[in-house]
Structure 1
Amino acid sequence: MSAGTPPERRPWDRVVAATRSGLRRYPRHLMASVRGQPLPIDSLPELNLPSADLAAVWLGHATSFIRLAGADILTDPVLSDRIGMSVGARTIGLPRLVARPPQALPRPRLILLSHAHFDHLDKPSLKRLVDPETVVITARRTARLIPKGFGDVIELDWGKAAQIGGVEVRAMRPRHWGARAALDHWRGYNAYRLAGAGRSVLFAGDTAHTDAFNDLRPDLAVFGIGAYEPWEHAHATPEQVWSMFERSGGANLLPIHHSTFELSDEQADEPLSRLRAAAGAHAARIVGAALGEFWAGPGLDPPA
């Protein structure tokens, strides 16, 4: 068994481990959110991305802002201070541990939603982003969860594609699941390959270890690297992410989905440290690793 590849847990063992993990954090955070305790966090500064064939910045958790072929693309936007169920104007759930995304974001041409989990499809955030010029692409049987007012909401099943301006979006199958609640496992869950202006991006969404992305050769691969303990059956370990990235033939890896919310048992700084160790001499291919750090594709200079 290779380093970073945990033994496969039996289904019942997964349930026990997940229950114990949740009980270590959810009760105290739920009570704090019910009491409405404010969070001592700031907002990231305003984005300053130039016109570019390919540029990206990580904004926390699975939210990244990507500029591809002149189109602004936002992945799994979570702008809220907490994730969880909305009760009136309040969200009952886990608190954000790091700076929130900028208060004002450039209007995205396209929003990509990987699946319906509360930490990826955040209704309060989507309501803030409603714009008739913005298209939302989402997974199968999730469109009814999207607030009204967007220019279009497109459900893409695996293997299907949509053309949004100069960007082709193709849905792929990661190794995950799509339920928003306990019983709606019929909802879809997607990864996406984006292509435009001779560049390509892989947004892997949430995924455990899989061969689904082999040989895609993206200029930028966006992979989640956290929430694997004890959820390795649904979220790849950092070592598994590096293996998937190498097998994809990708040029650059943007790590996301870590250290923003306390979803799992690993320490906040562990995923990125393990990813860099797995990359070894190739760690320079890990880009935009710091929250709010701008990255531009080869031959492009970051803004002054």
Structure 2
Amino acid sequence: MKTRYVNLNDVSNKKTFRDMRKWQKERRSKEKDLTENIPQCSKKRIQEIKENRSITSYTWIGHSTFLLQLDGLNILTDPVWAKRMGFQKRLTEPGISLEDLPDIDVVVISHGHYDHLDFPTLKKLKGNPYYFVPIGMKSLFIKKGYQNVREMSWWESFEYEGIKIHFVPAQHWTRRTFNDMNTSHWGGWIFQTTSKTFYFVGDTGYFSGFQEIASRFMIDIVFMPIGAYEPEWFMAVSHISPEDSVKAFIELEAQQFVPMHYGAYRLADDTGPEALERLLREWKRLQLPKEQLKVLSIGETVM
């Protein structure tokens, strides 16, 4: 019998056919402006990125994909360059083309949903990456021909080329085929370098795990999802709202908030600009320091 993974406190996100019908009926009644999109960075630092092996940097490719350059390693989070997601066209082009990437040393996968794990993208990556994946997923990677794969459970850690990599909980679910629901886990990744600690949250609803993570790690920079939350009665368990993402950031006691998971694919009823507007409004309402929020254009690099 296959292992089926669960959330903390056994929080369930199972939805009924009736729930799906209700959501679809609501969606038909909404009018959304899909002509306004998240802007591309006007000054991309492609050559600097290609040559960089010493300076800490991060670049938002789009959605949940970042290129992190940490202690000489090139790390990709949830690499997805797909032009479509299901029946929907990608709304914004990736910030850097696959051809312009440097050789990749490490890839981390938060979970198996197609907007976070795209094998056609992985086939095109330069270099010979080492893959870190949630428990239950290694067999799929081996089947696809990948050998450098390490499977990790929640709270497990591994040191790779001087960087400590930790797999931490998230509140979500996963599925790639009809009968494989939750047969692999989901979570976030924390990278501890010689100078800073980075937390890639992955895909999650708001949950008590943020407090536990805060008790174990001192986070400098958190890459936090803010999109795919509408309708909230349907999505809240597995997709955090902009307001709750700020609440989570405060609980984490992190130094900087970098929003992600918005503006590339239409996975729910909200739009990228709507998610960002709600985030900025909540940040202002709580009078949080402006310098702690780093909103990136697509393709923008911070060095």
- Settle same-fold status: TM greater than 0.5: yes
Q: Which whole-Å deviations, capped at 9, do the CAs of 1:90-147 have from their partners, x for residues lacking one?
A: xxx4211112232321112110100000110001001112643x10101111123337
Quote the residue 1:224 is aligned against.
225
Match of 1:286 among 268, 293, 296: 293
Q: SS of the residue aligned with 1:287?
A: coil
Quote the residue 2:189 is aligned against.
192
Which deviates more, 118-127 or 174-183? 174-183
CA shift in 2, pair 1:175/1:64, >3 Å: same
Q: Are the aligned partners of 2:53 and 2:73 in contact in 1 as well (CA < 8 Å)?
A: no
Q: Are the aligned partners of 1:217 and 1:251 in contact in 2 as well (CA < 8 Å)?
A: no
Output the CA distance in 2 between the equivalents of 1:250 and 1:18.
35
Displacement, 1:183? 2.8
Q: Are the aligned partners of 1:211 and 1:244 in contact in 2 as well (CA < 8 Å)?
A: no
Quote the residue 1:29 is aligned against.
none
TM-score, with structure 1 as normaliser? 0.78
Quote the residue 1:111 is aligned against.
107
Displacement, 1:277? 1.4
Residue 92 (structure 2) pairs with residue 98 (structure 1): yes
Residue 82 (structure 2) pairs with residue 80 (structure 1): yes
CA RMSD of aligned residues (A): 2.8
Output the CA distance in 1 between the equivalents of 2:65 and 2:172.
18
Quote the residue 2:36 is aligned against.
none
Structure 1, unaligned stretches of length 5 or more? 1-7, 26-41, 85-92, 297-304
Q: Are the aligned partners of 2:80 and 2:118 in contact in 1 as well (CA < 8 Å)?
A: yes
Output the CA distance in 1 between the equivalents of 2:159 and 2:151.
13
Output the CA distance in 1 between the equivalents of 2:301 and 2:45.
12
Residue 202 (structure 2) pairs with residue 205 (structure 1): yes
Which deviates more, 103-112 or 238-247? 103-112
CA shift in 2, pair 1:197/1:154, >3 Å: same
Displacement, 1:267? 2.4
Q: SS of the residue aligned with 2:197?
A: strand
The aligned runs of 1:1-304 (5 Å cut-off) are 11-12=15-16, 14-20=19-25, 47=46, 48-49=48-49, 50-52=52-54, 54-84=56-86, 93-100=87-94, 101-102=96-97, 103-129=99-125, 131-132=127-128, 134-146=129-141, 148=144, 150=146, 152-184=148-180, 185-214=182-211, 215=214, 216-230=217-231, 231-280=235-284, 281=287, 282-296=289-303
Q: Which whole-Å deviations, capped at 9, do the CAs of 1:40-88 have from their partners, x for residues lacking one?
A: xx9995633344553211111110111122211100001121234xxxx
Structure 2, unaligned stretches of length 5 or more? 1-11, 31-39
Q: Which is helix-richer, 1 or 2?
A: 2
TM-score, with structure 2 as normaliser? 0.78
Which 4+ residue blocks in structure 1 deviate beyond 6 angstroms?
A: 21-25
Q: SS of the residue aligned with 1:253?
A: strand
Q: Are the aligned partners of 2:131 and 2:150 in contact in 1 as well (CA < 8 Å)?
A: yes
